[in-house]
Amino acid sequence: NAGVTQTPKFQVLKTGQSMTLQCAQDMNHNSMYWYRQDPGMGLRLIYYSASEGTTDKGEVPNGYNVSRLNKREFSLRLESAAPSQTSVYFCASSDPTGANVLTFGAGSRLTVL
Amino acid sequence: AQRVTQPEKLLSVFKGAPVELKCNYSYSGSPELFWYVQYSRQRLQLLLRHISRESIKGFTADLNKGETSFHLKKPFAQEEDSAMYYCALSRSGGYQKVTFGTGTKLQVIP
């Protein structure tokens, strides 16, 4: 049981480049989330998907797009990376019983030069 | 809007001393409150939630709706408690977004 798997673990981009962070969960969870973690800022919600087929903006959606490909997968895309997007990105999912308890991935460290 | 405030970025205590990590929230409806912990080189994980009213690793937290607080407490700190602690909030019911505070780093001094 892998839980929540994120790829890649590390990535270095140049300003203006694009990339996609992948996330998959094997727990049959309905809801999935993308957060970014910055020193002193805590975890900030970028986008979330309450269930397959729906996505909603979080606190800091600008510069990002998401795709809920199916129930298992939720990807985060940076179309034109900026240095302000240097961060650690976490994907999470929550169980379908309504408890909103999150299971997190290991994180993806992104550096934009 | 839902908001979580953790006023302390860093809390240093001696081993064996009591610990209280503060969390205040702003939400007009019926909230669900959580504490998550991130140990060094480990994933973020749930520590406890107010619904279950349980004690995990000696930690407890009581939801005070009057003061809109959900402080995390432990009577005697252990070195292994050193970690980053996040308070989080969601609406009641499933499929809700979860909002986190800025986190408090707990440092237990031997």
**Each residue's pLDDT tens digit, B68-88:** 999 999 999 999 999 999 999
Contacts of A108 in chain B (CB under 8 A): none
Of residues A92, A75, A84, A74, the one with CA closest to residue A110: A84
CB nearest B102 (choices: A41, A94, A100): A41
CB A55 within 8 Å of CB A45: no
- Give me the amino acid identity at B81: D
Residue B90 has pLDDT above 80, yes or no: yes
Tokens of A100: 């909103």
| pLDDT of res. A99 | 75
pLDDT digits (tens, 9 = 90+) for B5-47: 999 999 999 999 999 999 999 988 888 999 999 999 899 999 9
Residue whose token pair is 């009581």: B62
* Preceding peptide of A83 cis, ω within 30°: no
- pLDDT confidence band for A96 (50 / 70 / 90): low
Tokens of B67: 């003061």
CB nearest A33 (choices: B36, B45, B98): B98
CB nearest A40 (choices: B88, B96, B102): B102
**Does A6 touch chain B if contact means CB atoms closer than 8 Å?**
no
Q: What angle do CA B73, B85, A101 make, to 5 degrees?
A: 95
CB A112 within 8 Å of CB A14: yes
Residue of A nearest to B93 (CA): A98
Task: Give the A:B interface size as CB pairs under 8 Å.
Answer: 69
Question: How far is residue A113's CA from residue A81's CA, in Å, rounded to a whole number?
Answer: 9
Positive or negative, the Cα torsion across A13, A68, A106, B72?
A: positive
- Give me the amino acid identity at B12: S
List, in order, residues 6 or more apart from B71 with CB less than 8 Å away: B20, B21, B22, B23, B61, B62, B64
Tokens of B2: 């839902």
Question: How far is residue A7's CA from residue A11's CA, in Å, rounded to a whole number?
Answer: 9
Q: Looking at CA atoms only, how far is residue A57 from chain B in angstroms?
A: 10
Torsion of CA A56, A62, A68, A74, to 10 degrees: -120
